[in-house]
């Protein structure tokens, strides 16, 4: 059971570090790594809400909320399918360059969790 608690702690720390690094890499405190996943999904072409939800392994309602925040930032727009009004599509706005690999904007990938943790502690992002 102790190993399970240690694993849960490491997972939580990793998630915190990853979120902090993605915000730092994106030079923003307003966008989350889940939102980056959504942007990557629609970088090439629009996708339905269901397709995005399935691809990033989040519930439809969670995905919808994340996309709502991206809409408020004018990064994403939603529109209804012309042949079936029940289907909602998401696409990038003109503010985000189309066909761009969003990972290129992030720049570097640390080799180990230790280097991630050191960077975050230096920046005093973790408490």
CA 23, chain centre distance (Å):
10
Q: Mean pLDDT across the chain, nearest whole number?
A: 77
Per-residue model confidence (pLDDT) at position 106: 40
Query: Is the predicted pLDDT of residue 88 greater than 70, yes or no?
Result: yes
Q: How distant, in Å, are the alpha carbons of 13, 37, 74, 76 from that of 60?
A: 26, 14, 21, 16
* Domain spanning 2-123, CATH architecture: Orthogonal Bundle (1.10)
Which residues are bridge partners to 78 per DSSP? Answer: 90
Per-residue model confidence (pLDDT) at position 78: 97
As a whole number, mean pLDDT of residues 110-122 equals 54
* Alpha-carbon gap, residue 3 to 47, rounded angstroms: 40
Determine what percent of the chain is predicted with pLDDT higher than 70: 65
For the chain, give the longest Cα–Cα distance. 55
CA 27, chain centre distance (Å):
14
pLDDT digits (tens, 9 = 90+) for 38-87: 988 998 899 999 999 999 999 999 999 999 999 998 989 999 999 999 99
Per-residue model confidence (pLDDT) at position 6: 81
Length of the chain: 127
Side-chain half-sphere CA neighbours of 62 within 13 A: 13
92 versus 33: which is more confidently predicted? 92
């Amino acid at each position: 059971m102790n190993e399970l608690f240690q694993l849960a702690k490491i997972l939580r720390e990793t998630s915190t570090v990853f979120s902090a690094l993605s915000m730092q890499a994106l030079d923003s405190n307003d966008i989350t790594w889940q939102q980056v996943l959504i942007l990557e999904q629609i970088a090439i072409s629009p996708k339905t809400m269901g397709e995005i939800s399935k691809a990033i392994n989040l519930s439809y309602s969670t995905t919808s909320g994340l996309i709502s925040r991206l809409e408020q930032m004018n990064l994403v727009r939603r529109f209804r399918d012309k042949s079936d009004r029940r289907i909602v599509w998401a696409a990038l706005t003109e503010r985000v360059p189309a066909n761009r690999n969003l990972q290129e904007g992030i720049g570097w990938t640390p080799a180990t969790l230790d280097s991630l943790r050191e960077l975050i502690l230096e920046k005093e992002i973790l408490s």
